[in-house]
Amino acid sequence: MAQLSVKTVESKPPLKRPTNKFTIFMKQIDLQLMVLPALALIILFSYVPMYGIMIAFQDYKVGNSFSSSPWVGFKHFAYFFNSPDFALVMKNTIIISLLKFCIGFPAPIILALMLNEVRRMRFKRIVQTVTYLPHFMSWVIIGGLVGSILATDNGSINMLLQKLNLINEPINFLSVPEYFKTILVSTNIWKEIGFGSIVYLAAIAGVDPSSYEAASIDGASRFKQIYLITLPSIMPVVSIFMILAIGNLLSAGFEDILVLAPNPALRDVSDVIDTYVIRVGVNNYRYSYATAVGLFKAVVSVGLLTMANVVAKRSGNSLW
Amino acid sequence: MKNKRKLVGSVFSTAMALSLVVGCASNNETKAPNEPAKDGNNKVEETAEAPKLYELGKEQLDITLFGNYAWYAATPKWGSEEITKYVQDTKKVTITEVPNGGNNVQKLNTMIASGELPDVIWGERGTDVERLREAGLLVPLDDYIDKYPNLKKWLDPMAANMLRSPDGKLYTFPNWYSNRPYGNAGWVVNKKIYNELGAPKLETTDDLYAYLKLVKDKYPKVVPFESDLAAEGQGIDQIFSAFKENNLSFTRFYAVPEGDKMVSIYKDQGFRESVVYAAKLFREKLMTQDAMTQTRDQVQEKLNNGKVAVYATSNPTVYAMQADAELRKTDPEAGYIMIMPIYKEGLDPSKIFPGTFNKLGWNSAVITTSAKDPEAVFAFLDYWTSPEAMTLQMFGLEGEDGYWNGLEADGVTPKFTEKVKTDPAGLTKLQGKMDPLMWVGNTVFVDDLKAEIQKTLAESERNWATYWQSEITWKTQGDATEFIDLLPNPETEEGIAFQRAKDIWLKVRAQTLYAKSDEEALAMLDKAHDDSMSAGFDKVLVKLAEKWHKNQEIMKGK
């Protein structure tokens, strides 16, 4: 049953359909017109600016026009692949995004499942509000907050640990490369977990209550119900979000890393593609180079997205 | 009925889609006319040939200004307080800031790309200015300088020559230009702690190390050595200065002069010693452990609470002055004092420079081709650097209840009132408030006035910053004029190599601080040297030396 309710979204209505495409279009003209603004938005702000990609193959200088810049082929790509930073940047990007994916992706699902079991509505609402509030704070604020909490001189965490006699000397949390990824990933989860769980809570709310009743009559425990009813029911939503998350694997983060790793000593563990682009490319006015690196990332991302979609297709929950 | 609703829905959504398209199209149109800004130069020459001077106050003059620093904001807002209100009323000039949103580089990039530049860009000289000039976005000032009285009078002609761009023209209007030593870098000591510890000798790096250890023992809650934002080189640059004679802020180039050549800084004996020393302080917790991560607010909090024993940075006069005032409020014995620069035993203390100055000032304003009437903008800047305007900026409005009333016989020096003596705190506050608006400061004129005032005051009445400037910092800054504007253009091969070297530099400078042993720190420096060289830094060194010799020639008047 639960399967059914979700399936209806995708399954085609068993009506006699007109074969003429134009007739179909005209029949849905009201719906189609509503899509138009969204299409216009995407074309204007996502496709039209793409012509700027050509500067990745040029030596573009500020003040020149795109048409007057000399073409240099794959020079900037070659520079990036041969740069001593390439291996390090790619390594960090992949490690950080895999960590964020493996821990950060299931976290909101688990929170949603847990919240769903809470019977006291008041408590549930409070938890939801508290967990999704940080989402609305900008990274700059979070960076300042984390920076002062974890500081060595007068940082609250260090003071607490010292008062509890757990440590003698304050720990320099923000300067030890080994701690950086933990801080980054946990800050990310703290910030986004509540907001991420909203989608899953909505999906769970759509599950037919009669399946739970049937299951409990059959003697299924709460855990069994979660495992056998709730999870399979929200699986389509989960897999769509997973495909999108895989498409974003090369976006290991940007603002979060900029604000949490101001210390250049951390660069060996914190430098990812996006921070590299801004530091080496944009801030040094090497627009062509920045574009080339960004384009490389986009191409790989599209590849990953397609791959994930192919895999998901087998389970019938693909994006397209 | 249903159909009608359908129709309304469709019409509405179509209208929205159209409005989007139209909205964007008109945006594109407005941008287009700005593009041919490149041939703005011709326009400029036309206006420059007009023989008449632009008269301020004749008509309304609106100027937009962009401060090219992440920390900069042009506060107080123009016209929101009495001094700028006065200028607005009498000179009919209104300055509007284009805010940089804390990300000046990106904002400037966006403005260049969209062709919507402000009339004035204020910031560092050097590569940014050169880039704009090469793109034909700046107005040369040569024709105006001769016509207007003030910059011509106060700017040293040698300095003017050095400010010139490779095309022989002058584009920058310097700020705080001077022909005398000035600057604020140096070492500050917490007076109370120092006296309680028996005021030991604090001259050499060994003295300093012993003192910091003593502080750590006796005052476990106090930061022995505070570096301010070490990620920007604060504090650690001053430590470097203690280990090398005639050190003229060479950390800007990652290179030091040797004979008539420039060589990599990583092989410099003094630099290596200073890195080892800083790493030792850090390792033994004698230096703030937040050196690389803290914000200015965090530093200021420590200073204001007296939790710092020794403090070194490039601008302690400003920060320590605030903290000194804060501490004195509750305890007249507390506060901060400055000491003569620390030096390594065996070096000549008179050749130790914790900071540098150059005769060209610390930054500059440029006028862009987007300015409708560049000459009018120049006329304003020339007025703003004049004695009349400097007096306004430093001492407020004229009047019996103000800090000055009337002028001396020379027609420029203000007659100071008693209030200068009775309300020094108010004056400090006024100057602090106006500081962000002093884009074209006239150092020579202002310093003479300051010295004049100080002479009339008793020691206890003197302004903290001015006192220590005249006692210590001005005497101990090195003249780095011959080393200005050495950096290669960022788009050239050397420019790219230099950026790569900078990347390596920033990283290694931070990493060495966390080195677990002296050997590890030195090994990091060797690796940084090799990495820089393989990135093409050797070619950069040649370029740096070339530019340096060129500067020397201009200074000799060739």
Which long-range contacts does A215-224 make (Cβ < 8 Å, 24+ apart)? A222/A117
**Do B135 and A30 count as a contact with CB atoms less than 8 A apart?**
no
**Do B295 and A33 count as a contact with CB atoms less than 8 A apart?**
no
* A301 in reach of chain B (CB within 8 A): no
pLDDT of B21 > 50? The answer is no
Mean pLDDT of all residues belonging to chain B: 86
What's the maximum distance between 2 C-alpha atoms anywhere in chain B?
98
pLDDT of B218 > 60? The answer is yes
Which of A37, A154, A174 lies at the smallest CB-CB distance from B293? Answer: A174
Which of A29, A172, A283 lies at the smallest CB-CB distance from B10? Answer: A29
* A138 in reach of chain B (CB within 8 A): no
Chain A neighbors of B102, CB-CB under 8 A: 140
Alpha carbons A40 and B56: distance in angstroms, whole number? 49
What is the three-state SS of B313-374? ECCHHHHHHHHHHHHHHHCCCCCEEEECCCECCCCCHHHCCCEEECCCCCEEEEEECCCCCH
Chain B neighbors of A266, CB-CB under 8 A: 510
How far is CA B181 from its chain centroid? 16
Percent residues over pLDDT 70 in chain B: 90
Handedness of CA B214, B215, B217, B218 (dihedral sign): positive
Q: What is the pTM of this model?
A: 0.76
pLDDT of B122 reads 95
Alpha carbons B513 and B362: distance in angstroms, whole number? 29
Strands B477-479 and B414-416: unpaired
Q: Per the structure block, which two tokens stand in for A124? A: 């549930």
CATH of the domain spanning B186-358: 3.40.190.10
How many CB atoms are closer than 10 A to CB B350?
A: 11
* Interaxial angle between packed helices B537-556 and B493-513, expressed in degrees from 0 to 180 and rounded to the nearest 10: 100
Give one DSSP letter per residue of B10-43, joined into a string: HHHHHHHHHHHHHHHHHHHHHHGGGGGGGGHHHH
* B14 in reach of chain A (CB within 8 A): yes
Q: How do residues A148-168 score in pLDDT, each as one tens digit?
A: 899 887 789 999 998 898 888
Q: In angstroms, what CA-CA distances link A150 with A160, B280, B290, B302?
A: 11, 23, 10, 16
Going along chain A from its start, the domains and CATH numbers come out as 2-16+76-314 (1.10.3720.10)
Which residues numbered 233-262 in B keep a CB inside 8 Å of some CB on A? none
Q: How do residues B236-272 score in pLDDT, each as one tens digit?
A: 999 999 999 999 889 989 999 998 999 999 999 999 9
Alpha carbons A275 and A280: distance in angstroms, whole number? 8
State which amino acid sits at residue A216.
S
Q: How do residues A83-122 score in pLDDT, each as one tens digit?
A: 888 999 999 999 999 999 999 999 999 999 999 888 898 9
Alpha carbons B388 and B413: distance in angstroms, whole number? 9
How many CB atoms are closer than 10 A to CB B123?
A: 21
Q: Give B33's contacts (C-beta < 8 A, 6+ positions apart).
A: none
Best probe of the B interface among A141, A263, A282, by most B CBs < 10 A, is A263
Evaluate whether B475 touches B349 at the Cβ level (below 8 Å).
no
What's the rounded mean pLDDT across residues A172-197? 91
pLDDT of B439 reads 93
pLDDT of B477 > 60? The answer is yes
pLDDT of B103 > 90? The answer is no
Q: Per the structure block, which two tokens stand in for B509? A: 């400078």
What's the rounded mean pLDDT across residues B314-321? 87
Under CATH, domain B43-177+363-465 is a member of which superfamily?
Periplasmic binding protein-like II (3.40.190.10)
- pLDDT bin (cut points 50, 70, 90) of residue B400 is confident
Q: Where in chain B is the domain with CATH 3.40.190.10?
A: 43-177+363-465, 186-358
pLDDT of A2 reads 43
Question: Could you tell me which of A104, A3, A97, A107 has the C-alpha nearest to residue A317?
Answer: A3
Alpha carbons B409 and B412: distance in angstroms, whole number? 8
